[in-house]
Amino acid sequence: MLVLSTGCCTSGLKSALQEVLVIAHSGRMLASLVRSAGYTPLVIDLFADQDTEAIAEQVWQVDDLSVAAIQQAVDNLLLSYKVSWVIYGSGLENYPETLEYLAEYFTVTGNDFSVIRQLNAKKDYFKQLDALDIRYPEVQFYPPENSTAWLIKPVNHVGGLGISCCDRVASADEYYQEFCQGKVGSVLFCADGEQFELIGFHRQWTIAKDNFAFAGMIRNDLVTEEHKQTIRIWVKKLVSFYHLKGLASLDFICQDAACYFLEINPRPPASIMLYPELDLLSAHLSGRLNAVTADNSIRALQIVYAKQACKIPLGVVWPEWSFDQPKSDTCILANEPICSIMARGKTAEQTLTRLQGQQTHIENIILNR
């Protein structure tokens, strides 16, 4: 299914600004980045949220990001717009064939489809991590003898979706990884294929201990200097071997003295929302970070998931700190995201307290009406 939505910026005459195609599971974050930099965003995504429509020139809602699903949208936008380049976000790393298709028509920024294919070929990928001396929780492609401390992970997943405790036999497109206790974090970086710059470290969390879907993160430096150095070395090795380009992030888990690599996200991650003071679009395009503006604020973001099935009521007044706002009458199933929220404070404790209050507010206006 393809649904065309018109953004508030559309008029009879097309904008004189350069038009940029944003394609992702949810395009609002990157569309905002593009619009703030003075470009005109055109969006293909799965949700066509109302704030995405407000930012974008036009939005095409699709069922998934496969070539078959987006082809009509691409054909339509080629008739009306001259796209300068494409920026892709979360979800496209599962569809390297879509990136290859887009590259036939547009300049695709960031990592190309060949890099994504290398990262998705998990058996070779883990062998390469071994060769690079990057430590990660043990991986198997056959069932473990004792499944108690193991996870089943999809070869292709986004934001932890589909990861589960090992209580069955993995399918052909899954593998087993040992479960590690510890503090999960990520580092945002930009690269130009050879050189890189670390932008910031974050602590992140999932929905629950047995639900590994991404739930939120906070811009707070809780990583020891020793672990920072280890992670910097990992990024250097991965950038050099895979010639990574643009904005990306690396996830890790720390257990006291030990630190383990979890995964690389080879496209602009959610953590870019925590750095509004930086010119991150330029960092994505060039692989270099321009002069940094000092900002000591602690920022955090969180996804609010529905605790039960609900329908977005008419006339909801969304707070200014909420994002990815679904339209009225949108039906949301239990455990599906309602929206994203962001908080800011002087300390981590203050910021997380504000974030919890904001989540309660969203639940009250959506779930408890």
3-state class of 2 per DSSP?
A: strand
3-state class of 64 per DSSP?
A: coil
Alpha-carbon distance of 91 to 88, in angstroms, equals 8
Alpha-carbon distance of 39 to 336, in angstroms, equals 31
Q: In the CATH hierarchy, which top-level class contains the domain 2-109? A: alpha beta
Q: Enter the DSSP assignment of 236.
A: H
Please list the residue range(s) of the chain that carry CATH number 3.30.470.20.
181-286
Superfamily of domain 181-286: ATP-grasp fold, B domain (3.30.470.20)
pTM of the model: 0.93
Q: What is the DSSP string of 258-292?
A: EEEEEEEE-S--GGGGG-TTS-HHHHHHHS---PP
pLDDT tens, N- to C-terminus, the chain (369 residues): 667 765 544 333 334 469 999 999 999 999 999 999 999 999 999 999 999 999 999 999 999 999 999 999 999 999 999 998 999 999 999 999 999 999 999 999 999 999 999 999 999 999 999 999 999 999 999 999 888 899 999 988 777 888 989 989 999 889 999 999 899 999 999 999 999 999 999 999 998 887 888 999 999 877 899 999 999 999 999 999 999 999 999 999 998 889 999 999 999 999 999 999 999 999 999 999 987 777 788 999 999 999 999 999 998 999 999 999 999 999 999 999 999 999 999 999 999 999 999 999 999 999 776
Please list the residue range(s) of the chain that carry CATH number 3.40.50.20.
2-109
